[in-house]
Amino acid sequence: MELKAREQCAFPAEPPCAGSSAHLLEYKNACALSASTISKAGVGIIKMVTSRWRRRDKKARLARSSSAGHPHASTERNPRRPLAHPALRLLPGWKAREEQLCAAKPQNRRRIVVLGAPRVGKTAIVRRFLQDAFEEQYEPTAEDFHSKVYRIRGHTYQIDVLDAPGERGFPARRRLSILTGDIFLLVFSVDDRGSFEEARALREEILAAKAKLAQPGGSARVPTVVCANKADLEPGARAVSRAEACRAFAGDCALFETSAKTRANLDDVFEAVAARGGLPSETRPSRHRSVSMRSYQALRAGRSRAPPCDVPYGALRPLARRPSFGSDLRLVLGGRGAGKAAQRCLAR
């Protein structure tokens, strides 16, 4: 009984502050003062508590490194989330504000999702839209995300462009990209019949996915523009005729025969994208002045002289990253009041 009482006095049942290295050192020093008065069982208790604190310290360090942006701290591409800091979770009503922030899209912001088979020129068209440039060398696209901001007639706009991969190895990821898209740009090559069939299948997949989120009794509005790319090739190289493409994409699709290399009809494509997506026509590359992000911020803040006659200008965000898949999923599940339908849609 006397030994048990001494052990209880020397070692409290609960640590003063779990997960704190300073308190751990203080606790161990206090324990060392009476180490001669304890039994082997007491030593075992010390080791157990110490190892538990060390595990908690390791978890705390991993959490801090994750918030600091270490590459191995998270498997998601962009681990940042609104109101995710633990201190902010103490505020009243933080959960409702987080869900509201994740569900609501910023005003004047649109996401363009570019889909199509591999090697049809999707990335070349995206480069023409963002930078009005063309690269001859082909490089397979894993997944690229771009963001461009505009200042047009006193209003600010942002266009996010998701250049999706051509492979169909990740259907859930592709389905999530479709559900979060506002405008769709389908691309196929006129010399590749397989890419034409792929574009038709993608069109049906988009309609089916968006229909799951539509209100009961309503129809989903899906702004879609189709590019029959590589129209600069010789007529003998064609595998899909213009008449067949028009029949396949009849209805509410806008079809254009384009060439990313010669820029043929691309201005009409970008005009159709703006019109169907509710964007001003000045978002087209030929209708606004391209500036750097630093110049854009200086113009917005009034630190630089504005362009003459309030000329529209836009800047490409450097190092733009796609929001995390968790954020996109919360946007789909919570932003439209159709959580169960979206879950079914993602599962199929």
Q: Could you write out the DSSP letters of every residue in 91-140?
A: STTHHHHHHHHHHSPPTTEEEEEEEE-TTSSHHHHHHHHHHS----S---
33 pLDDT above the threshold of 60: no
For the stretch 253-297, pLDDT in tens is: 999 999 999 999 999 999 999 999 999 999 999 999 999 999 998
Question: For the segment 206-232, what is each residue's pLDDT rounded down to a tens digit?
Answer: 999 998 887 776 667 899 999 999 999
Q: Where are the domains of the chain?
A: 2-68, 85-104+323-348, 108-317
Greater confidence, 344 or 334? 334
Task: Give the tokens for residue 162.
Answer: 């998701």
* 111 has pLDDT over 50: yes
CA torsion, points 22, 23, 29, 35, in degrees to nearest 10?
-150
Residue 96 has, within 13 A of its CA and on its CB side, a CA count of 3
Whether 281 and 274 have beta carbons less than 8 Å apart is answered as yes
Which residue(s) pair with 146 in the sheet? 161
Average of per-residue pLDDT across 134-159: 90
What is the percent of the chain with per-residue pLDDT over 70, rounded to a whole number?
63
Q: Which two tokens stand for residue 338?
A: 């159709």
What integer best gives the mean pLDDT of the chain? 77
**Could you read off the pLDDT of 232-259 as tens digits, one per residue?**
999 899 999 999 999 999 888 999 999 9
Cβ distance 212 to 142 under 8 Å? Answer: no
pLDDT value at position 292? Answer: 93
Q: What does pTM read for this prediction?
A: 0.67
| Among 63, 55, 62, 64, residue whose Cα is nearest residue 15 | 55
**pLDDT for residue 65:** 57
Please say if the pLDDT value at position 41 is more than 70: no
Q: Which residues of 44-63 are buried (b: 16+ CB within 10 A; e: fewer)?
A: ebbeebeeebeebeeeeeee
Q: Which backbone phi and psi does 318 adopt, to 5 degrees? A: -75, 145
In the predicted structure, residue 346 carries a pLDDT above the cut 80: no
Q: What pLDDT shows up at residue 54?
A: 72
Alpha helical stretches, state H, 149-302: 171-180, 193-213, 242-248, 266-276, 293-301
Q: Does the structural domain 108-317 have CATH classification 3.40.50.300?
A: yes
> Sign (positive/negative) of CA torsion 176, 81, 140, 319?
positive
Q: What is the pLDDT of residue 250?
A: 87
Give residue 304's pLDDT band: very low, low, confident or very high (50, 70, 90): confident
CA dist., res. 266 & res. 271, Å (int): 9
Distance set, CA 246 to CA 2, 171, 194 (Å): 94, 27, 17
Q: Alpha carbon of 6 to those of 2, 3, 12, 45, 311: distances in Å?
A: 6, 5, 11, 14, 82
pLDDT of residue 22: 52
For the segment 201-210, the average pLDDT, to the nearest whole number, is 93
Give percent of the chain with pLDDT exceeding 90.
Answer: 45
Which tokens in the block code for residue 274? 């703006």
Average pLDDT over residues 76-100: 46
